[in-house]
Amino acid sequence: MKSIRPALPALSPGLANAVASTAHAAPQPDAVGLGLMQGFPPPADKRVLRSNFMEPPLNRWAFQHIRELQPTREVWRGDGPVSELPVEPMDLGKVTGTVRDGRVISLDQLLDESHTDAFIVLHRGKLVFERYMNGMAPHVQHQVFSATKSFVGTLMLMLIEEGVVDPAKPVAADVPELQDSAFGDATVQQVLDMTTGVAFDEVYDDPDSEIWRYGRVFGLWGAPPPGYDGPMTIYDYLPTLKKQGDHGKAFHYVTPNTDVLGWIIRRVSGKSVDANIAERFWQPMGAERDGYIWLDGEGGEMAGGGLNITARDAARFGWIILNGGRFNGRQIVPESVAKRILTPGDPEIFTALYGQFPGTDWYGKVTHSYHDQWWSFANAHGAVGAIGVHGQYIYLDPKAEMVVVKLSSSPTAEGGPNESNDTDGPLLYQALGEYLLGR
């Protein structure tokens, strides 16, 4: 059975008829306030473990501490100097925007209501607003979940631009191990755009569902149950996915597509995805800090959602794309790739499967299309973004020349009726862009 629900880490429907309060809620309790992992040892009921760290509120601590729970590999920033981010503080906290149900809220209000860990606004390359909450700090690497996909997509576009990968070729041309899987006869471009026909369902309370099998590979549910004989590495897992339907017909958000891209990248470059991110982005851009990526038990990285980076380095990466691929005095990403990322995709493909969404949930309200592992927003500034579950955003507004980074630890993956994150966030970011443009 093919679910119409997107896969973890996905963005999902379910927000129709949400009733939002106009009251300014108090900030949510932070990890220290909750007593998580405090003391030596922490009390038994306050321990964040490999088996429970995705559960709220434990995730408030976990998303800044993934390496303490999982095997990880460094994204090395190199030995070069840190690129300067000129600071020009602006009091953006009082900027308001109209969000769901006509509610008008301020940025301060959004940040308080949406389990914010870090929030940055970069305007024309200058750091104009920066806030840390919940124990987060500028040097701390935060799990960005599916925002990882946009880094991987950008790498693949660069390899295509360089002629190393042919986007029209089937996946099996580079990775014969996937010949008999759902992906074998899909083109690289279809995988990039997530229009592959894959039998992939997502039922959180069914440990036999695909999403559980994917998470299992990366230790998401703790030790496997006795007798579990499913795949335990990404290399064993991907070939098990079966084709369903035709490729190229409809956008279907399936995280393992990105892991397929990761496999191709490794195979053609001879280097891991994280080494590619290090050499192609982190080192030339003068990242402030090493990043790291979450691994399976045999060294395979979670290309679909395992990157952990600082808010400032996420902002630097966003600015590269907005700035024609240039940053830190270098052409880091080809201009053609940066332009392509900023170009909207095909809205018909985007809604073919999720057609019921527009007008009834935030998907339809704020996003327009998806291609090359980037989201396009249906707004007046032509914004695009990298998005991850539990409230991760790298939002690029080309018209306002603004990058917004939001790193969060929302209780649900996909947002709930009382969560401002996924629903109200992009609407308020658009208001921020309008404010900056109108100054």
Residues in contact with its own copies by the rule CB under 8 A: 37, 40-42, 47-50, 65, 67-74, 76, 79, 139, 223, 226, 233, 235, 263, 266-267, 272, 290, 292, 295, 297-300
Residue closer to its own copies by CB (options 16, 223) is 223
Given the residues 146, 376, 408, 410, the one annotated as active site: 146
CB of 390 to its own copies, least distance (A): 20
Write the DSSP symbol of residue 360: T
User: For the stretch 238-269, what's the b/e string if a residue is b when 16 or more beta carbons lie within 10 angstroms of its beta carbon?
Assistant: bbebebeeebeebbbbbbbbbbbbbbbbbeeb
Q: Does residue 369 have an active-site annotation? A: no
Minimum distance of its own copies from residue 108's CB (angstroms) = 27
394: number of CA atoms within 13 Å, CB side?
Answer: 27
Q: Which is nearer to its own copies, 55 or 298 (CB)?
A: 298
Closest CA to 146 of 28, 305, 259, 14: 305
* Structure tokens given for 329: 């005095």
Vertex 344, ends 103 and 439: CA angle to 5°? 50
Shorter beta-carbon distance to its own copies: residue 39 or 438: 39
CA distances (Å), origin 284, targets 77, 176, 256, 266, 290: 8, 33, 28, 20, 13
Report, in Å, the least distance between residue 187 CB and its own copies: 20
Nearer to its own copies, 268 or 378 (CB): 268
Q: Which residues contact 163 (CB under 8 A, 6 or more apart)?
A: none
- The size of the chain, in residues, is 439
Nearer to its own copies, 48 or 320 (CB): 48
Shortest approach of its own copies to residue 81 CB, angstroms? Answer: 10
Taking the complex as a whole, the smallest distance from the CB of residue 255 to its own copies amounts, in Å, to: 19
Cα–Cα distance, 295 to 369 (Å, whole number): 30
What is the three-class DSSP state of 73? strand
Catalytically annotated residues: 146
